[in-house]
Copies of this chain bind each other. A is one copy, B any other.
């Protein structure tokens, strides 16, 4: 991509914001790829992540879900609305705290999660082409590092 054809400029100029922009663009492309493949299931990446999360970890409060998915509480709430309307998820009152809803996966939701996992695995293997396991592991670590640096900034 960045073959800044500036003839005799920098060799591989890391032109300022370019790397960040690339990261963001890649993230968007990935989301679009997932969204396209999840469209048949009637949901998009964030919803699929939410569903997988409650499937894995059992009934969870919305705040915790929001925190885990790095989303806002409002967005999480409306996503739960949508998933609930489709019967993939159910809201249970928390017996110990009347403010919170525990979001639980339904049997229908579990079926969908299985399909999501398939979609995910297929797409992942396509994306992995030409990359090594170490590459990906290092990417994951770098992302974590970046996040902690970002958190330390504020």
Spell out A's residues near B (CB within 8 Å): 1-2, 4, 6, 13-31, 33-34, 45-46, 48-49, 52-53, 56-57, 69-70, 116-117, 120-121, 124-131, 133, 135-140, 142-147, 149-150, 153
Contact = CB atoms under 8 A, between A and B. Distances in A.
A150 B30 CA distance: 7
Residue from A15, A16, A28 with most neighbouring chain B CB atoms (10 Å): A16
A27 B29 contact: no
Contacts of A138: 135, 138-139
B56 A2 contact: no
| 7 closest residue pairs by CB, A with B | A25-B70, A27-B27, A29-B150, A24-B27, A17-B49, A16-B120, A26-B143
Contacts of A136: 1, 19, 142
Contacts of A127: 146, 149-150
B17 A34 contact: yes
Nearest to A144: B1
Contact of A153 (B17, B33, B52): B33
Contacts of A20: 30-31, 34, 45
Nearest to A137: B1
Contacts of A70: 21-22, 24-25, 28-29
B126 A131 contact: no
19 contacts: A1-B137, A2-B120, A2-B121, A14-B140, A17-B45, A17-B49, A17-B120, A20-B31, A24-B70, A25-B70, A25-B147, A26-B27, A29-B150, A129-B145, A131-B146, A135-B138, A135-B142, A138-B138, A139-B139
